[in-house]
């Protein structure tokens, strides 16, 4: 294959996902754009309900009613997947683009052995023999650090962290090029979190993966991602490389978010919470969506939506950042 | 939950639990006795149950030669009981198999696809549910001639809708579970979701339904035969009751009336016991309570 090293594997443009509620469309994802280069990992952070998971689901073309992709394009290796048919999408899901969903604890079928669940996944996408699939399943388990002796175990015989690993093993069984990790460490204790993160890092190298990492845990994102996008109320407010974002957040919301998180190395300082609550997505504020909670907000913020500025390769959507 | 007759160790565990359950043990024991009767009928001191005997042997109470006595044609009642178990068990198992298989298939498809498919299939289910068993049997017996297979057909025809409904309601809840969604999210097809993700979760329900259907079919056979809608040439427990009723000596010949009734009740009760035990065992947490 021709070198695509600098090509974008995923390019999302002007993505709008609305949930049609009785009181009007809730703009869960509104004009979101991002792109990910091959072998890069993009972190997606933000408060609960800001549209992280909805964005991920839209990339899988798995938005369930009343949700709907209103407009925008999602290009995977140059092809827009938004207009694709259900059957085309089914073949892409798991084989090209895969996902480790939230709540992995319940995402395994309680009555099937994990070996069966992995082989079924492989055989759905590739026409290979049972023996071959079983061999691949063992390799997958080995890859995520579970002894292949456990291939005949049922999900209830595993701990939470192991179930999470099994989910990763299933999601990557067909060697997808693009993997979405939706809060893969949420609900696990820090030691297991660390194990999962180490495993993901190894996996990324071995499988040559490009990934989106969704989390509300800033430290986890810092550890795994090359770039980070900060989402708020359905919009990406800032996108930047990880180091610059953490050391010098530009957008007031990024600042507030990082200020609300304790630092291990830095001096002891009082943690600041962000006053107020995220706005209604059905009737969002006219201008900048963060304006009602922003300390720096001026009149223009409440009236006009800020355009995205590019400063030193970082994207920021704020009137106050020049 | 994960107690299936799939893996050997699970299989063993299941039967260990079943034997440890008093009702399960009793039910299984009685069923095995009847199964033994059916399988080894020719070796249990029997003679041809349909063969009429000598006139001096008419309607005699139990003796050492005729263990359960004879009927009004001097036929050996012990032999009739033994051979009759074959009919009851065959009808029970075959009807249960047909019922559970077709009911599960319809319930699975209906519950999984929902909407129009569900609507159409459920109306068909309603139709068959409402079919009157007895008139249908009478008509079929008249058209096709009475036989064991007609009884099986009628019983299956009117009882598969129950299984379909039960399975459908379970599937409705299962298909919304996260693991189904996850599997779909990584590219599983409809067929795979139905048959390899959802179906295994319905297996305990299928067991419970199968046990229920066996008792229902045995009961239906007895009723239909007693009413004279069974095959008059075959010997079944219901047919025996029909004969004793029509012979007019029902009040005097206790040895002729009692055995078929005891057998019908015994077999139905044993399956009910087994059913209760199986649903107890499949209940989550039972295994742990018993120290497994």
Domain ranges in chain B? 17-42+68-289
* Structure-block tokens of residue A216: 């509300």
A81-90 CB contacts, 8 Å cutoff, 24+ apart: A89/A61, A90/B187, A90/B189
| A298 falls within a domain | no
Range of the domain at A24: 8-96+176-193+204-286
- The confidence score (pLDDT) of residue B6 equals 46
Task: Inspect the interface and report whether the beta carbons of B178 and A103 lie closer than 8 Å.
Answer: yes
- In the predicted model, what is the mean pLDDT of residues A166-171? 88
Q: Is B7 in contact with A152 (Cβ distance < 8 A)?
A: yes
Give the per-residue pLDDT at B164.
93
* A213 and A83 share one domain: yes
Q: What is the SS3 assignment for A293?
A: helix
Share of chain B above pLDDT 90, in %: 15
Q: How far is B186 from chain A (nearest CA, A)?
A: 4
Asked, for residue A183, whether it belongs to a domain, the answer is: yes
Residues in chain B: 292
pLDDT at position B81 over 90:
no
* pLDDT for B54 beyond 70: no
Q: Which residue of B has its CA nearest to A108?
A: B179
Range scoring the smallest mean pLDDT among A108-122, A222-236, A292-306: A292-306
Does residue A2 surpass a pLDDT of 60?
Answer: no
Q: For residue B7, what pLDDT is reported? A: 47
Q: CA–CA separation, A143 vs A106, rounded Å?
A: 22
Residues of chain A contacting B186 with CB distance shorter than 8 Å: 93-94, 98-99, 121, 170-171
- Of the listed ranges A281-285, B12-16, B44-48, the least confidently predicted one is B44-48
Structure tokens at A288: 């900048």
Interface test with B, best of A58, A63, A107 (most B CBs within 10 A): A107
Q: What is the DSSP string of A135-149?
A: HHHHHHHHHTT--GG
Contact residues, B window 192-231, toward A, CB-based 8 Å cutoff:
192, 196-197, 200-201, 203
CA distance A103 to A268: 34
Cα radius of gyration (chain B): 22
Cβ contacts from A onto B, under 8 A: 71
Let me know if residue A256 belongs to a domain. Answer: yes
Q: Kindly state the tokens that stand for A120.
A: 């079924």
What integer pLDDT is reported at residue B117 of this predicted model? 92
Kindly state the tokens that stand for B192: 């795979």
Q: By mean pLDDT, which of B56-60, B97-101, B220-224, B258-262 is the weakest?
A: B56-60
The region of weakest confidence among A186-200, A256-270, B233-247 is A256-270
What are the strands, taking DSSP E only, across chain A?
A: 8-21, 24-37, 41-45, 67-76, 79-80, 97-100, 178-182, 210-214, 227-232, 235-241, 309-311, 314-316
| Nearest one of B34, B77, B15 to B52, comparing CA atoms | B77
Domain count, chain A: 2
Q: Looking at the predicted structure, is the pLDDT value of residue A148 above 90?
A: no
The mean of the pLDDT values for chain A is 85
Q: Give the least confident one: A105-109, B24-28, B282-286.
A: B282-286
Question: Distance, in angstroms, between A142 CA and closest chain B CA?
Answer: 21
A30-44, B34-48, B110-124, B260-274: which range is least confident on average? B34-48
Give the closest residue to A318 by CA, choosing from A282, A293, A289.
Answer: A289
Spatial contact of A42 and A229, defined as CB atoms under 8 Å apart: yes
Q: How far does the CA of residue B183 sit from the closest CA of chain A (Å)?
A: 8
For residue B194, what is the DSSP state? I
SS3 A180: strand
Cis peptide preceding A66, ω within 30 of 0 = yes
Q: To the nearest whole number, what is the mean pLDDT of chain B?
A: 81
How many angstroms separate the CA atoms of A144 and A161, rounded? 11
Q: Between B178, B186, B200, which is nearest A93 by CB?
A: B186
Buried b / exposed e over A145-162, threshold 16 CB at 10 Å, is: bbeeebbebbbeebeebb
**Separation of alpha carbons A100 and A56, rounded Å:** 10
Nearest CA in chain B to A61: B185
Q: Taking 80 as the threshold, does the pLDDT of residue B66 lie above it?
A: no
Q: Which structure tokens are listed for B220?
A: 């239906």
Pairing of strands A8-21, A24-37: antiparallel
Our CA angle for A273, A276, A279, nearest 5°, is 125
Regarding whether A159 and A225 lie in a shared domain, the answer is: no
Check CB contact under 8 Å for B192 and A120. yes
* Cβ atoms of B185 and A102 closer than 8 Å: no
Pairing of strands A8-21, A67-76: antiparallel
**Residue B208: both structure tokens together:** 């419970």
A281 CB burial (10 A radius; 0-12, 13-18, 19+): buried
User: What confidence tier does B86 reach under pLDDT thresholds 50, 70, 90?
Assistant: confident
Query: Do A164 and A18 share a structural domain?
Result: no
Interface test with A, best of B182, B184, B197, B292 (most A CBs within 10 A): B182
ipTM above 0.85, yes or no: no
Max avg pLDDT among A142-151, B117-126, B203-212: B117-126
Q: Please tell me whether residues A87 and A223 are part of one structural domain.
A: yes
Mean pLDDT of all residues in B63-81: 73
Whether B186 and A109 lie within 8 Å, measured CB to CB: no
Q: State the pLDDT at residue A209.
A: 87
The span from the CA of B238 to the CA of B236, in Å, is 5
> Would the pLDDT of B77 be above 70?
yes
Q: What was the pLDDT predicted at B120?
A: 94
Q: CA angle at residue B20 from B16 to B24, to 5 degrees?
A: 100
Helices B115-130 and B77-113: crossing angle in degrees, nearest 10, is 150
B187–A107 CB contact, under 8 Å: no
Query: Do A72 and A115 belong together in one domain?
Result: no
CA–CA distance, A218 with A227 (Å, rounded to integer): 12
What is the CATH topology of the domain spanning B17-42+68-289?
Answer: MetI-like fold (1.10.3720)
pLDDT band at B94 (very low <50, low <70, confident <90, very high): very high
Q: Is A143 left (phi over 0), alpha (psi -120 to 50) or beta?
A: alpha
Same structural domain, A129 and A169: yes
Cβ distance B72 to B136 under 8 Å? no
Unique residue bearing structure tokens 């109306």: B123
Taking CB atoms and an 8 Å cutoff, what residues of chain A touch B200? Answer: 109, 111-112
Query: Residue B124: its pLDDT value, please?
Result: 93
Is residue A192 very low, low, confident or very high in pLDDT (cuts 50, 70, 90)? Answer: confident
CATH of the domain at A239: 3.40.50.300
Query: A125 lies in a domain?
Result: yes
Count CA atoms closer than 13 A to A56's CA, side-chain side. 28
* Measured distance CA(A162)–CA(A195) in Å, rounded: 10
This prediction has a pTM of 0.78
A213 lies in a domain?
A: yes
């Amino acid at each position: 294959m021709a070198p695509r090293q600098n090509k974008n594997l995923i390019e999302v443009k002007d993505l709008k996902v609305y949930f049609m509620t009785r009181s009007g469309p809730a703009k869960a994802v509104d004009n979101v754009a991002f792109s990910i280069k091959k072998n890069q990992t993009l972190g997606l952070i933000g408060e609960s309900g800001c549209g992280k998971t909805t964005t991920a689901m839209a990339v899988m073309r798995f938005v369930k009613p009343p949700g709907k992709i209103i407009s925008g394009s999602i290009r995977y290796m140059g092809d827009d997947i938004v207009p694709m048919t259900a059957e085309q999408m089914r073949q892409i899901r798991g084989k090209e683009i895969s996902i480790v969903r939230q709540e992995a604890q319940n995402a395994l079928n309680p009555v099937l052995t994990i070996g069966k669940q992995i082989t079924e996944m492989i055989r759905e996408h590739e026409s290979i023999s049972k023996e071959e699939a079983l061999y691949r399943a063992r390799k997958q388990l080995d890859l995520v650090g579970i002894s292949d002796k456990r291939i005949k175990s049922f999900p209830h015989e595993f701990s939470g962290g192991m179930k999470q690993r099994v989910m990763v093993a299933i999601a990557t069984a067909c060697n997808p090029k693009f993997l979405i990790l939706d809060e893969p460490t949420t609900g696990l204790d820090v030691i297991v979190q660390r194990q999962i993160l180490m495993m993901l890092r190894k996996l990324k190298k071995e499988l040559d993966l490009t990934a989106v990492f969704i989390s509300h845990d800033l430290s986890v994102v810092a550890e795994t991602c090359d770039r980070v996008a900060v989402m708020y109320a359905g919009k990406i407010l800032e996108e930047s490389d990880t180091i610059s974002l953490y050391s010098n957040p530009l957008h007031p919301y990024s600042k507030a978010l990082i200020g609300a998180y304790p630092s291990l190395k830095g001096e002891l300082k009082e943690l600041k919470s962000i006053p107020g609550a995220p706005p209604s997505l059905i009737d969002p504020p006219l201008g900048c969506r963060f304006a009602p909670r922003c300390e720096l907000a001026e009149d223009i913020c409440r009236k006009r939506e800020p355009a995205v500025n590019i400063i030193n390769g970082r994207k920021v959507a704020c009137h106050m950042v020049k | 939950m994960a107690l299936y007759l799939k893996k050997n160790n699970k299989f063993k565990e299941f039967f260990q639990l079943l034997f440890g359950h008093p009702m399960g043990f009793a039910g299984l024991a009685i069923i095995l006795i009847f199964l033994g009767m059916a399988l080894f009928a020719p070796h249990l001191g029997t003679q041809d149950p349909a063969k009429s005997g000598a006139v001096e042997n008419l309607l005699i109470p139990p003796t050492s030669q005729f263990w359960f006595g004879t009927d009004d044609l001097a036929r050996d009642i012990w032999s009739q009981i033994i051979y009759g178990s074959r009919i009851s068990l065959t009808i029970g198992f075959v009807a249960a198999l047909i019922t559970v298989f077709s009911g599960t298939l319809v319930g699975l498809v209906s519950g999984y696809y929902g909407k129009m498919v569900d609507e159409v299939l459920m109306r068909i289910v309603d139709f068959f549910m409402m079919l009157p068993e007895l008139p249908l049997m009478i008509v079929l017996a008249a058209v096709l001639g009475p036989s064991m297979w007609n009884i099986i057909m009628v019983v299956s025809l009117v009882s598969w809708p129950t299984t379909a409904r039960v399975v459908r309601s379970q599937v409705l809840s299962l298909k919304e579970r996260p693991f189904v969604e996850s599997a779909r999210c990584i590219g599983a097809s409809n067929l795979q979701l139905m048959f390899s993700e959802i179906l295994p979760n319905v297996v305990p329900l299928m067991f419970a339904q199968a046990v229920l259907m066996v008792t229902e079919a045995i009961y239906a056979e007895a009723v239909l035969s007693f009413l004279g809608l069974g095959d008059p040439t075959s010997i079944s427990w219901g047919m025996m009751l029909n004969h004793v009723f029509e012979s007019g000596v029902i009040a005097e010949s206790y040895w002729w009336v009692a055995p078929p009734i005891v057998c019908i009740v015994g077999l139905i009760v044993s399956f009910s016991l087994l059913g209760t035990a199986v649903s107890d065992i499949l209940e989550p947490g039972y295994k742990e309570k018993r120290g497994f």
